[in-house]
Amino acid sequence: MEEKGRYKVRIDEDGTSLAVKPDCLVVKAVQTAAKHKDSPTDTGGPVNIPQNMLEDFEDQQKKLTTAAIQLETLEERLQAMLRDARRVELTKKEVALVDEGTTMFAQYGRCFVQQNKSALEESLEEQTKKYQAQIKKTRDSAQYYARQKDETSANLNEMLDTLRKMQNS
């Protein structure tokens, strides 16, 4: 069992089985078609799964894992942007309270550069607009990946139901 972030990956000894567990969904693709292809008598037991179904299943697993990882990354990025946007807003409020004649300094990398109040306020306003645009774009991307994750999860569940029906009949 190998852990990658919140996901657990298990590869069987023969390398044919892969189980990924995002959000308590356990999916396991076993290539029984290749194992039982040449057996003359197949009574009960495992169902021969078509190769194209196995490939589709693996593709859906990859999509689900990718979407979950992207969603997690975007959420972390969004939190960082919101934190920076709040910092800029607080700085704008504090700068607005200061008298016009007061010496002001703006951060430039690791140092501070002297600036007049109007230039500093202008810079802070530009940063606010930039963060608002980035936050909107990141939220839209997160919604896209959440929708993709839900659709892929539904597809996997549908495929599993189909496999169960094949096995029961």
**pLDDT tens digits for 25-37?**
444 444 444 444 4
Q: Which tokens is 75 given?
A: 């959420």
**Could you give the 3-state DSSP secondary structure of residue 107?**
strand
Q: Which tokens is 50 given?
A: 């078509």
77 in Cβ contact with 43 (< 8 Å): no
Quote the pLDDT of residue 162: 86
- Find, among 134, 139, 102, 135, the residue nearest to 117 by Cα: 102
Quote the pLDDT of residue 39: 43
Distance CA 26, CA 37 (A): 26
We report the CATH number of the domain holding residue 76 as 1.10.287.370
What is the span of the domain harbouring residue 11?
A: 2-168
Average pLDDT value for residue range 16-32: 46
Distance CA 100, CA 72 (A): 44
Q: How many domains does the chain have?
A: 1
- Find, among 24, 17, 16, the residue nearest to 157 by Cα: 24
Q: Which residue has the higher pLDDT, 33 or 6?
A: 6
Q: Which residue has the higher pLDDT, 116 or 49?
A: 116
